[in-house]
Structure 1
Amino acid sequence: MSLPEHKSLGAFTTQETGIRQHTPDYWRASLALFCAGYATFSLLYCVQPLLPALARSFNVSAASSSLTLSLSTLALAFGLLPAGALAEVVSRKRMMLLALSIAGAAALLSAVVPHWSALLASRLVLGFALSGLPALAMAYVSEEFDKPTLPAAMGLYISGTVLGGMLGRTFSAILADVLGWRWAMGIMAGLALFALIVFVILLPPAKAFKPQSLNIRKLIGNFLSHLRTPELRSLFMMGFLLMGCFVAMFNYVSFRLEGPPFSLSSTVAGLLFLTYLGGIFSARLAAPLRARLGQMRALQCSVVTMLASLSLCALPSLYALTVGVGLFTFSFFAAHSLISAQVGSTAPSAKAQASSLYLCFYYLGSSTVGYVGGYLWQHGGWYSLLALLSALLALSLVLTRKQQP
C-alpha cells in the first residue's frame, strides 16, 4: 500500500519508502511488536510444560490435558478470519490493545478457576482474544516498513514470539516446581500485561493504513481471492503442517522427559525449552538465507533440517534428544519467518486478511496435529509420534516446490 509523494515526520519520506532500518521509528515499532509477540506467545504457550501437572491435578489423560493449548489455538485460528476482516476497517493499534487486554484478564482467571471445564473455558476465551493480534502485527509490518526492511522487521517480530514462547514455557515450568502451576500461570499473565504497557507506549500510529468501509461481500471476496492463488495456498498448507509438527513435538516431549528412561523433574524438563533461543537467531537469519538461496531452496533447507533432526530425537540419549529438538526448533522458526514474509509480499492487497488466513491454517495445524499426536503418544508411544511428524514434514517438503525458485 503506497503513500502519497511527500516528506513527513519519522521515517516516511516518499511513495516508495516506509519505515527504514536503523531509524527511530524502526526501533520503536520493532520493540513494540517484539513486546506484543512476547505477550501473545507467553500467554498462549505457558501451559505447555504444565500439561503433566494439569493431568495429575485434574486426573485427566495426556491428550485431554493438551486441550488447554489445543482449544486456545483452535479459538485463535477461527477468530483470525473476522479479526483479519476487521483489520481492514478499524484502527489496528486499538484492536491489538483490546486483544491483549482481554487475553491478559483471561490468563489471570485461568490461574484461579477450580474446575477443569472452567479452565478450558478461560483458555478458549484467551485464544479467541489473541486472534486479534498476530494477523494485525504481520499486516502492520507488511504495510508500514519499506520493502528492503520487511524481512528484517518480520524476523524481529517473530523473534519476539520465539522469546515469548521460550520464556512462557521455561519460566512456567520452574515456577510450577517451586510454587505450583496456578502461581506459574498467574505470574506469566502479569509479565504479559507489563509487555502490553510497553507496546502501547512505543508503537507508532499506522501511516500507510487506509481503512476500508465494512463491505462483507468484498471481505469474503478478498479471502476467496487469496485461496485461489496457488502460491498462497501452498504457504497456508505449509503453515498448517509445520506448526502442527512443532506443537506436537513440544506438547509431548515433556511427558517423554518426565517418564523412563529419563525421569526428569518438570524444572529440568522445562529447560529443554531454552532451545527456543536458537529460534530467535534463525528468524533473523532467514532473510539473508533467502537472499542467498531464493525462497524455494531456503524453505527446502529448513524443512529438510527439521526432518533430519527427528532421527536424533529417536535415540535413547538425553544429549541426542536435546540437540535434535534444538535443530528442530532452529529450522522451524527459519521456515516460519520465510513463509510469513512471503505471504505479505505475495498478497497484492488486503494483506491483513492474507496474514489472517495463513495464521488460521497455522493454528488449525497446531490444534489438530497437537491433539492427534496425543492419541498416538498414548497408544503407540514416542516413536509413533515421530513417525507422524516425519510423514507431515515430507508432505510439506513437496509443497515447497510451489514456491518461486
Structure 2
Amino acid sequence: MPTSVHAMKTAETAAIPGQKHYLTRGTGAYRRASVALFLSGFSTFSLLYCVQPLLPIFSQQFSVSPAESSLSLSLSTGFLAVAIVCAAAVSEGLGRRSLMSISLVGAALLTIATAFAPNWHLLLVIRALQGLVLGGVPAVAMAYLAEEIDPRGLGATMGLYVGGTAFGGMSGRVLTGIFAEYLTWRPALFLIGAIGLAAAIGFIALLPPSRNFVRRPGFDPRFHAKAWLGHLSNPALPFLFAIAFLAMGSFVTIYNYAGFRLVAPPYGLNQTELGLIFTVYLFGIGASSIGGLLGDRIGHFSVLLFGLALTAVGSALTLFASLPTIILGIIVLTTGFFMSHSIASGLVGRLAHGTKGHASSLYMLAYYVGSSLMGSAGGWFFAVEGWAAVVIFTLVLLALAFVSACFAQHLARRKA
C-alpha cells in the first residue's frame, strides 16, 4: 500500500489520546458519516410527517375536527420534544450511534403498526409512542456532528443533515399523498414505514463510531441538571431556543392547514395533487446547504435574519387567492425556514460550552414544543376566522423570532 494511502487510512481510524480527532472533508469516514446522517434525517422526518397530508382524510374518516386531526402529528412532536431531553442524557451513557440506531428502527416499526390501528384513539397512542422513540435521533445527531466534524466545516455539514430532514419531510408527505390516492391511507403508512426501516439499516451500516465522545456510565441527575442549567445561563442560547419554538410553530401551522384550504372549493385538489405540492421541500434542501455555506463565509446571524424575513414573506404570499401564488408562498416560506433552522441549530453547537448534546436537546425541545403547541393552536384560528387568521398568527410568531435573533446576535458579539 502506498505511504500516502496508508497515511489517509490511519488518519481516518487512529485517534490520538487526549486530542480531538475530527472527520475532515476528503476522507472516506467523512463521506460515510455524511450519507449516514442524511439517511437519519430522511428517515426521522419522513416517518414523523407522513401523516400531514392525511389530516383531511382522518378528519372525514374518524369524524374529528381539523384541530383534532392535527393531534396525529402534534402528539408525535410533543412527545418527541420530551423524549429529546431524556435522549441527550441517555446518550451520554449508551452512546450516540447506538441510541440513534435503536430509535430509527423502532420508529419505522411503529409506523408500520399505525397502518393497522383499528380506531382513532389507538392511532393517536401509536403516534405518541413513535414520538417518544424518535427522540433519540435529532438532538443526538446534532451532538454527533458538533463532536465529530471539523469545526471549520460544521456549517456545511449541518446544512447537509438539515437537508436530509427536508428531503425526508418532503418524501414522507409526497409519497404518502400519492400512495393514499391509489391505495388508501393504511397501505400508504405501511410503505412509508418500510422505506424508513431500509434507511435505518443503511444508517447503521455507514455511520462511523464516535471518536471524540466520552462515555459517562450510569445516570447522574446532578450532572445533567447542571449541564442544562449551564446552557440556559448562556446569554445567547435561550434566544436561539426561542427562535426554534417560534419559527417551527409558524412553519408547521402553514403546512398543517394549507391542505384543508386546498382540498376545498375553489381549488378541490386530490391527495396526489396535494402531496405533490410538498415537493417544494426540495427548495428547503438547497436552502439548508446554501445557508450553512453562506453562514461560514459572511456571518451566521446575517443569514439567520435574512432567512426569518424570507419565511415571513412566504407566509404573507399565501394570502392571495391565486393557486400559483399560494404555491410560490409555500416555496419562499420553506426556503426561508430551512435556511434559518440550519443556521440556528449550527449556532447552538458553536456557542455551547461543553455537553453539546444537552444544548442541542434544549434547542430541539423548543423546536418540537413549538411544532406541537403552535401547530394545534393554528387550527383554532383556522376554524374561527379562516386562512387570514392563520397567516396573521404565523407573522406574529416570526416577528418575535426576528427580535430574538437580534438579541442573540447582540449578546453573542458582546461576549466575543
Q: TM-score, normalised by structure 2?
A: 0.94
Verify: 1:388 aligned to 2:389, yes or no. no
2:353 corresponds in structure 1 to 348
Structure 2 residue identity aligned to 1:256: R
How far residue 299 of structure 1 moved from its aligned partner, in angstroms, is: 1.0
What residue number does 1:219 align with?
224
1:152 partner amino acid: A
- The CA distance in 2 between the partners of 1:13 and 1:120, in whole Å, is 46
Structure 2 unaligned regions, length at least 5:
1-8
Deviation at 1:101, TM superposition (A): 1.8
- Counterparts of 1:271-310 in structure 2 under 5 Å? 271-310=276-315
Counting only pairs closer than 5 Å after superposition, residues 83-102 of structure 1 correspond to structure 2 as 83-102=87-106
> What is the CA-CA distance between 1:106 and the residue it aligns to?
1.1
Task: Note if contact 2:21-2:211 (Cα within 8 Å) is conserved in structure 1.
Answer: no
Which of 319, 344, 347 is residue 339 of structure 1 equivalent to? Answer: 344
The answer on 1:107 being equivalent to 2:111 is yes
Matches within 5 A, 1:54-133: 54-133=58-137
Find 1:210's aligned residue among 196, 211, 214: 214
Q: Does 1:171 align with 2:175?
A: yes
Rounded Cα–Cα distance in structure 2 between residues aligned with 1:227 and 1:111? 40
Given that 1:175 and 1:181 are in contact with CA atoms closer than 8 Å, whether structure 2 keeps it comes out as yes
Quote the Cα distance in structure 2 between the aligned partners of 1:87 and 1:352: 8
2:141 paired residue number:
137
Partner of 1:232: 237
Residues 248-298 of structure 1 show CA distances to partners (whole Å, capped at 9, x for unaligned) of 110011111101221111211111101000011011011232134322221
**Contact 2:80 2:134 (C-alpha < 8 Å) held by counterparts:** yes
* Deviation sequence 1:206-257 (CA, Å, 0-9, x none): 1111112432101111011111112110000000000111111100111111
Q: TM-score, normalised by structure 1?
A: 0.96
Matched, 1:35 2:39: yes
Give me the whole-angstrom Cα distance separating, in 2, the residues matched to 1:369 and 1:16.
Answer: 40
SS in 2 for 1:89: helix
Are the equivalent residues in 2 in contact too, given 1:42–1:169 (CA < 8 A)? yes
Q: For 2:208 and 2:275, locate their aligned partners in 1 and report how far apart those are by CA, in whole Å.
A: 36
Match of 2:55 in 1: 51
Question: How do 1:250-261 and structure 2 match up within 5 A?
Answer: 250-261=255-266
Distance 2:14 2:66 in 1: 51
Moved more, 126-135 or 294-303: 294-303
Q: Is the 8 A contact 2:77 2:372 kept in 1?
A: yes
Secondary structure class of the residue paired with 1:21: coil
Change (3 A) 1:85 1:16: closer
Greater shift, 125-134 or 98-107, is seen at 98-107
From 26, 29, 32, the counterpart of 1:25:
29
Question: Is 2:15 the counterpart of 1:10?
Answer: no
Partner deviation per Cα, 1:13-41 (whole Å, 9 max, x = no partner): 77455000121111100101111111110
User: Which aligned runs of 4 or more in structure 1 are off by greater than 4 angstroms?
Assistant: 11-14
Q: Which residue of 1 aligns with 2:379?
A: 374
Output the amino acid matched with 2:212: A
Distance 1:227 1:348 in 2: 11
CA RMSD of aligned residues (A): 1.4
The equivalent position to 1:180 in structure 2, one of 184, 207, 225, is 184
- Hey, what's the Cα distance between the residues in 1 that align with 2:162 and 2:296? 18
Q: Return the alpha-carbon distance in structure 2 between the equivalents of residues 12 and 224 of structure 1.
A: 35
Q: In structure 1, how many angstroms separate the alpha carbons of the residues matched to 2:309 and 2:272?
A: 31
1:56 counterpart letter in structure 2: Q
* 1:188 partner amino acid: I
Letter in 2 for 1:201: A
| Structure 1 segments unaligned to the other structure (5+ residues) | 1-6
1:102 touches 1:129 (CA, 8 Å); kept in 2?
A: yes
Name the residue aligned to 2:154: 150
> 2:33, 2:293 → 1: CA distance?
21
Same amino acid, percent of matched pairs: 40
Q: Name which of structure 1's ranges 112-121 and 204-213 shifts more when overlaid on structure 2.
A: 204-213
SS at the partner of 1:132? Answer: coil
Amino acid at match of 1:123: R
Residue 68 of structure 1 and its aligned partner are, at CA, apart by 0.2
One-letter amino acid matched to 1:307: A
Range with bigger deviation, 9-18 or 314-323: 9-18
Q: Deviations over 1:136-166 (max 9, x none)?
A: 1111100011111211111111111111000
What is the one-letter code of the residue matched to 2:305? Q
Moved more, 193-202 or 91-100: 91-100
Which amino acid is 2:283 matched to? G
For these two proteins, the number of residue pairs brought into alignment is 399
Are residues 1:399 and 2:375 paired? no
Residues in 2 aligned to 1:112 and 1:337: alpha-carbon distance in whole angstroms: 35
Greater CA drift, 289-298 or 205-214 = 289-298
CA deviation vs aligned residue, 1:36-76 (integer Å, no higher than 9, x gap):
11111000000000000111111111000000000000000
Shift of 1:311: 2.4
Q: More displaced, 292-301 or 390-399?
A: 292-301
Q: Bigger shift: 283-292 or 312-321? A: 283-292
Letter in 1 for 2:74: S
C-alpha distance in structure 1 between counterparts of 2:247 and 2:257, whole Å: 16
2:316 and 2:137 map into 1 onto residues whose CA distance is 35
Q: Distance in 2 between matches of 1:250 and 1:334?
A: 17
Give how far 1:168 is off: 0.1
Partner of 1:3: none
